[in-house]
Chains A and B, each alone.
Chain A
Amino acid sequence: MRLRRRDFLKTAAAVGATALTTGPRLNALAAAPITASSGESKGRWVATTCQGCTTWCPLEVFVQDGRAVKVRGNRHSKQNDGVCCPRGHLGLAQVYDPDRVKVPLKRTNPVKGRGVDPKFVPITWDVALDTIADRMMDLRRNGEAHKYLLMRGRYTYNRDVIYDAMTKIFGSPNNISHSAICAEAEKFGPYYTEGLWDYRDYDMDKCKYLLVWGCDPVSSNRMVPSAIKRLSGIVKRGTLAVVDPKSQTSALKAQEWLPIKPGEDGALAGAIAHEILVNGKWNREFVGEFVDRKNLFVPGKVVDEAAFAEVHTSGLVKWWNLELKDRTAKWASKRTGLDAGQIKRVAKGLGEAAPNVAVWLGPGACMQVRGGYASMAIHALNGLLGAVDNEGGTLDKAHIPVLKMPKLDAYLDDVAKVKHKKIDQRGTKEFPALAKGKPGGGVVTNNAARGMLDADPYDIKMAIGYMNNFTFSCTGAQRWEEAMTKLPFYVHLTTNASEMTMFADIVLPCAMTTFEKWGWVKGKQNRYAYASLLQPVIDPVFDVRTEETEIPWLIAEKLAERGFTNLLDFYRNEYKDSDTGASAKDAKDFARVVTKYYLSPIWTTEKGKGGDLVGDWDEMVARGMWNSDPYPYKKRWGKFKTETSKFEFYSATLKKALTAHAGKHKTTVDDVLETCKYTARGQLAFIPHYEEPFRSGDPKEFPLVFVDHKSRLNREGRSANTTWFQEFKKVDPGDVSWDDVLKINPLDAKKYGIGDGDMVRVTSTTGSFELKVRLWEGVRPGVVTKCYGQGHWAYGAVAATEFGKIPRGINNNEIMPAEYDRLSGSTARNGGFTGIKLEKI
């Protein structure tokens, strides 16, 4: 036990010590007499935007003496009503992280690899930029401009400047975004049913039955503060049901928790649809009715397509005949491990509350091998229930009046005009990546590592990465370590020395989002779309630059010095101050000018149209954001952006895309599906349907299923270096502060003779890892779960046990192999596709 001061103060205390004469004087009060008035010292609230997650909340930061001291939601925000989630506050610990990179660095150790000290030495900005520009010019001279790779991580919409313009004008096709490592399967279902390649907005204020599927909206998934505020209202007014193999907060708040077996989501969705149809609970106004009004949806019975007259949907009877007719609750119960009665109850509840219901499709339901079809099946329920674009349902976003990137064409020289394939192998037979209906239209982020390792389609000679950390954030992270080891020249634009930084040849210290940089984002929540800007709320603490604007400008200047002026010309000529018409004076000014350019319609050409009236740029900066008018219900009814303009239960849109992809490779759709690891053949390929879950690892050898989940304190893998993240880790149900635990049901623990707090060896197809076990009743037996976010072996002194060497815990992305939902290009992640085995150590 610690020696307490009380013990030696006891005597003094007993006689009634008087502190005023014995104690040291209080520092502040020494200067100010005890009569000093109470209250906050001078400061002002400055508007900006949070990027702790992709909700992208409009924020305000309180600034005192040039320091950021506290955070709140933006008062003008109709999305968060002036309140942010816990992550908003955590940002302060990131901007004031003592482990931030403070100057440009150069690697002096040519040997690369995990655990190898790069022997970084400080260099000037000028030397760093010269080195980068020389390398780039060499590539152009040697006809290898396409061997330049730009990897994007967290961005604002000023991204065009570095991501599109710089890469394309320089002459490379390789601008690779991070999008597919956490999202695209979630967009796949909505796109191939209702033509929306985006996240949905959920009208929680009016919702009477919310079915949350594979996420915890009060922790993550793009409308966090808004969901936190509204969740209890739904529980009071109606029903909340949650599908998730583990009990996170929404599942505790819900009236119904459906602890499904991982990957069986398509079975449950099919059964709910089956129940809705058999019981005649579909929404007539949206879907239509049988011609003679008699419900012919009888289990097991084929229905004549002509018997049903659809209104805003297409292919209902095909869907029934091909897939749903046999998807009974009993059948689904076997697959999902759920009670058939509960499945029926949920279907009935949804049907009765329709159309003011929403099925909230989260990543756990579809970021899975074959997850694209689960994504369709789950989202199709919204169509069946008439919830799409309806009160209390799932919505698109209202128009946001901003500019597009200026046209590049005039700045593309002969080098830049040559067409080359992309390093992520998108569009190959194995990777259809059918974003927005286009074969190879989407990114396959995680597969770029394979492209680099196999030099297929060619070798990458130089890469710049900004605010990305693929050696940590991509599944099969080990492959990225190899790819980065092999890469001859890497420039990392970052705030901290992250895992990926440890492979860099040049490190450029970057401004912290929210607090130190210009930028802007778009978003939507509660029917209100918005544009919100980021601005330098404080002068940067260190000698940093903004990665999306200042750094490309500085590189463009260096390239111009070396005779290649196109990039700088583009930046100078095309981005002009929208009030004065002047080009940017320098890199710093450019960051502001670009932001102003994109947002200019808000207070110029479209002033007051469709949303808030913003007088001028100064007002925009002061209020920080623009809200749209509320999104009109039923806006897209009759004009969905699908092949049929309808909500498609039989996706003519997917048929077209898949057929085009097969055609490109001179083969059949069936062959494509087989190559891409799907089980469907024939017409099934075009409808939402059940696919058996894919598991990595033979179940005999790897009997347990590993499920990754998100932390409510995780700022996109970047907050683990803050003490506050570690201290309050316990707010993630089942987790332990300052630790990284594998959560396992006590029944399973018993089988393996494991006790709470024991160390175990976890083995998956990627390797073996040692972890601490936490017995937790909140997870389904047979499933083992761990929160993403710990396991950093770099980043800083708090995140890692020993910086550069020993991780704190294990990164989930090392346990999970690189696998994909190939139709969407998505990395398989939290759907639970990794088989593991456990051994007590």
Chain B
Amino acid sequence: MTQYGMIIDLDKCVGCGACALGCKTENNTGDRAGGQTFNWADFMVTEEGRFPRATTTTLPVLCNHCSNAKCVEACPVEPKAMFKTADGITMHNDERCIGCQSCQEACPYSVLDISEGGAQYSVISFNEDGIGNFSRFESKTAVIAGGTSTGEELTRLTDAKPAHRTEYRHPDYDNVRRPDVTEKCIFCAHRVAEGKLPRCVVVCPAEARVFGDLSDANSEAARLLKANKSFRLNEKAGTQPNVHYIGSFVTRKNG
């Protein structure tokens, strides 16, 4: 059985941010608002050691598409709005979602409110009605009245919100989610279905992200996993993530 997964090679990754921005432009995710990040791809920054041995690791993070997905387990809807596809993607069906945020609460990589408790990121965000994640494209105030544009005007002129909205289709999710549902990385299933790689993979300038079928020993992803020491985030939560990290973000051993 297919099990899609991703290998992120930290030897190669430079923490540049292109993956996160590539994801935002592909999936039209909004701006941080109301305790929600709307970053389907994000970073976890860890600082260790003292000068001159101090290090900063910028770890790219995304939905782990866990084999034992707590979000799926927690989804109360029948059939589940958060569910596993046949090829191992943790999928979200916008239409069935009742917006109860049970998935968000259950996911060990998510928090209900990013502004509390010090979490650096949240895989799942909640698109509460009126939360303001597109307020930049809704604002009616111009910085120079009559001279500069407004969000509302831009939206009217481009006939899209966000103005750079990428149009695509998928039976389970819309390219801009409707209000009052949760949302997260869906491994770009709309691209995968067309034989394309996830957007964060193709935009990575370091070629650090490898997507593939982990159950197929011949896939590059499986090969990399076999050949390298690897780790996953929060193993002890028992979620069996399908996003694996190999290599090390920091090379330097001393100052």
Interface, chain A (partner B; CB < 8 A):
1-2, 4-6, 9-10, 12-14, 16-20, 22-29, 32, 34-41, 43, 62, 64-65, 67-72, 80, 83-86, 88-90, 92-93, 95-96, 98-103, 105, 120-122, 218-219, 224-225, 228-229, 231-232, 235-236, 240, 247, 249, 251-257, 259, 496-497, 507, 541-542, 712-713, 723-724, 727-728, 730-731, 733-734, 745-747, 776-781, 796-798, 803-804
Query: Which A residues touch B17, using CB under 8 A?
Result: 86, 712-713, 728, 731
A21 CA / B21 CA spacing, docked (Å): 36
Question: In the complex, A25→B168 CA distance in Å?
Answer: 18
- The complex places the Cα of A247 from the Cα of B35 at a distance, in Å, of 31
**Among the listed stretches B62-70, B93-101, B220-228, B233-241, which one makes contact with chain A, having 4 or more residues with CB under 8 Å of it?**
B93-101
Tell me whether A19 and B96 are in contact in the complex, defined as CB-CB below 8 angstroms, given that A712-B17, A797-B143 are known contacts.
yes
Q: Are B14 and A23 neighbours in the complex by a CB distance under 8 Å?
A: no
Interface contact B169-A232, CB-CB below 8 Å: no
Inter-chain CA distance A101–B146, complex, in Å, is: 9
- State in angstroms the CA–CA spacing of A23 and B127 once bound together: 14
**Cβ of A85: which chain B residues have Cβ within 8 Å of it?**
16, 18, 205
A95 CB contacts on chain B under 8 angstroms = 164
Residue of chain A at shortest CB distance from B195: A39
Within 8 A of A (CB), among B187-202: 189-191, 193-194, 199, 202
A13 to B78, CA, bound (A): 10
Which residues of B have CB within 8 Å of A6? 100-102, 105
Q: Which 8 A-B pairs have the closest CB atoms?
A: A777-B54, A13-B76, A41-B167, A96-B163, A38-B193, A19-B96, A89-B21, A86-B17
Distance between Cα atoms of A34 and B174 in the complex (Å): 11
Contact (Cβ within 8 A) B190 A228 = no
Pairs A–B under 8 Å by Cβ, sample size 23: A5-B128, A12-B98, A13-B98, A17-B77, A23-B98, A41-B169, A70-B164, A89-B21, A96-B163, A98-B136, A99-B142, A121-B146, A121-B147, A122-B147, A218-B14, A235-B11, A240-B251, A253-B14, A257-B255, A497-B148, A541-B158, A781-B51, A796-B148
Given A69-B166, A92-B25: A16 in contact with B77 (beta carbons within 8 A)? yes
* Contact B76–A14 (Cβ < 8 Å): yes
Majority secondary structure of chain B interface residues (helix, strand, loop or mixed): loop
Q: Considering residues B37, B57, B99, B164, which has the most beta carbons from chain A within 10 angstroms of its beta carbon? A: B164
Partner of A2, one of B12, B35, B143, B203: B35
Given contacts A86-B18, A228-B205, A255-B253, 7 further A-B contacts (CB under 8 A): A37-B169, A38-B194, A69-B164, A100-B149, A122-B147, A224-B205, A541-B163
Interface 1/0 per residue, B39-73 and A, CB below 8 Å: 10001010101111011111000000000000000
Q: Is the CB of B99 within 8 A of A89?
A: no
| Nearest residue, chain A, Cβ from B137 | A98
**Contacts A20-B96, A229-B205, A252-B55 known; A40 to B191 CB distance under 8 Å?**
yes
Nearest Cβ on chain B to A434's Cβ, whole angstroms: 36
Would A18 and B78 be within 8 Å (CB), given that A26-B174, A803-B143 are in contact?
yes
Contact with A along B143-166 (1 / 0, CB 8 A): 110111111011001111011111
Which of B35, B76, B202, B207 gathers the greatest number of chain A CB atoms within 10 Å? B76
Point out the residues of chain A lying under 8 angstroms from B12, CB to CB: 232
Check B190–A64 contact: CB distance below 8 A: no
Establish whether residues A1 and B203, one from each chain, have CB atoms under 8 Å apart when the complex forms: no
Cβ-based interface call for B20 (8 A) = yes
Which residues of chain B have C-beta atoms less than 8 A from A20's C-beta?
95-96
Residue in chain A with minimal CB distance to B249: A252
Say whether B76 contacts A67, CB under 8 Å.
no
Supposing A19-B96, A778-B51, A797-B143 touch, asked if A727 and B164 sit within 8 A by C-beta, the answer is no
The reply to whether B190 and A122 contact each other, CB–CB distance below 8 Å, is no
A53–B206 Cα distance when bound, in Å, is 18
B229 in the interface (beta carbon within 8 A) = no
Judging by beta carbons under 8 Å apart, are A38 and B95 in contact?
A: no
The interface residues of chain B lying within 8 Å CB-to-CB of A18 are: 77-78, 96
A39 — which chain B residues lie within 8 A by C-beta? 168-169, 190-191, 193-194
Does residue B81 face the partner (Cβ distance < 8 Å to A)? yes
Contacting pair A38 B100 (CB below 8 A): no
Whether B108 sits at the interface, judged by CB under 8 Å, is: no
Question: Is B204's CB within 8 Å of the partner chain A?
Answer: yes
Query: Is B175 located at the chain interface by the 8 A CB criterion?
Result: yes
| Contact A38–B170 (Cβ < 8 Å) | yes
